[in-house]
Structure 1
Amino acid sequence: MEELGKLITENQTIIASLGVAAITVAVFRRWKAGGRCLSKARLDGKTVIITGANTGIGKETAVDLANRGARVILACRDKSRGENALADVIKRTGSKQVVLKSLDLASLESVRKFAQDINKTEPRINILLNNAGVMMCPYMKTSDGFEMQFGTNHLGHFLLTNLLLEKIKRSAPARIINVSSLAHTFTTKINYDKIKDEKSYSRIEAYAQSKLANILFSRELSRRLQGTGVTVNSLHPGSVATELGRYFPGFTILYPTLSLFFKSPWEGAQTNIHCAVEESLENVTGKYFSDCAVVQESKAARDDEAAKSLWEMSAKMVGIQQ
């Protein structure tokens, strides 16, 4: 009887431990997954542009918005990968309103050609999702000579948005969404001189500055668009298992295990989607989101004077009037 009692106690302990482990895993998965977009809003008759829509959260966002009835323009740099993404989005949604257009954000000429095409052929732009980006790459320059991360993540989107702005305003109510990152907290100010010099180059600092720029740009643009019916918000999608980290040391080895700890692309796309469709956000502008909720950005990202200075500097760099 004593042995039987011990066996029962051991089994109960094992069962209890397994139960705790299962609950822990479930809680971790829910925490990792983050927020969910719960809106059922339709987008029939609306036109959406998504940069970097050939992979990751950009493609998952395209699938969701196409399923809601939107005309979705996939703005992609790589033609071959863009065509594969286009075929996949159409297959998954059955939509005949998904199109592919060429856009290389590391080339101001490409940005201008894309904007010219859109302004000529598209009657409206209801949602512009500036999603594309590059993260922690080695020192490289855009075709116009700018540091690659700042040039692609910020300057390319800054020019694109400004060139499409009049059409967006005529399409109001409309939304502009800029994908930033928690990495914006890794720096305290925009100092382009610090990242344009190859000798003192820091991949992390350059990425952080580009993500801080995304938020400051959103802040200043939202101020300039007050009363137009166009909202501008930025967001942190979370840590997502995508190819964005391909330049990170050891990425090839670590990539197969990222899904255990990071969000899936579908999970990472939820805040994109929330900011694009949630009805209660119709008049919400100048905010920063994470996990489908407004959160507070860093002190540096709330600096209105820094936002104005960045706008002036960016306008000069890309050659547009302020």
Structure 2
Amino acid sequence: MALMAANPTILLTNDDGINAPGLATLRTELTAFGDVTVVAPESNQSGVGRARSEAAVVRDHPWGYGLVGTPADCVAYALRGLDTDFDIVVSGVNSGPNAGNYVVGRSGTVGAGIEAAFLGTPALAVSAYHSTDFFLSPPAEYDFGRPARIAARLISRAVDVGVYDDVDLLNVNAPVDAPNPPVVLTEPYHDYGQDVERLEVADRDTTELGVDAGELGDDEHVVRLRDRTWPGVVGWENPFPPTDEHRSRYPVGTDRRAMVDAAVSVSPLSVQHASPDSAALAEVVETLDTE
């Protein structure tokens, strides 16, 4: 890959919406060394992953365009619908971390980067967390400056030394409060669970779940599905406090351990769904009876 141009063309998007403070802060950092076009969702699209829409409304915005759709829609529109050859796609700064293998797969922030990589453009997704508060709520009360600066510096150096020759996407999680956080090369940690709760007849006021319980038949029931993406969390508490227990739970080199240590986690990702070698599967395929 060629070195980044002196004034690179940068596509900036996110999943928190075009008016999110993290995007505004990152735009300020990126415009210091590049030509930035914003194409971002008009409303919050957190947790949509790489979902795409069949059609989307696009509206002019002082920074570029607002799009009534998902982060992946924004990237697809910008890379194939605008007359601009973008050097890199940057997504963020997300309000809250995107760490752990399952969370990364659900993230709209990361989903934008994955869409970019499939379309042949290098990408970086950056998310912010607070080492004590963890979740940034409300976002307007936090300073996204450090994650934005870190992302800008990573972009420049990663492109210039050829990181994207081997990597499709960088997923970055950076603390907003640590004054001089270490930067750690990581991989997403596999840590996920699912709770399934059957709702009783007396609890069938399920409007919030998008279900009209009054129309249920005798052979139907409602279940509530809850992801357990942050282990042991009640409400908005920090799932990764800096304790010996949590340091022993998450191995060094994982993104979640980096957050326990209030570090910057940098995870290189690939969108190529590589096929692992499996002698057992090869035998099954070779001997499968299709009569």
Shared fold per TM-score greater than 0.5: no
TM bucket normalised to smaller: 0.3 to 0.5
Return the structure number with greater helix share. 1
Give the TM-score of the pair, scaled to structure 2: 0.40
What TM-score do the two structures reach when normalised by structure 1? 0.37
Instruction: Please identify which structure carries the higher strand content.
Output: 2
Higher RCO (CA < 8 A, seq sep 6+): 1
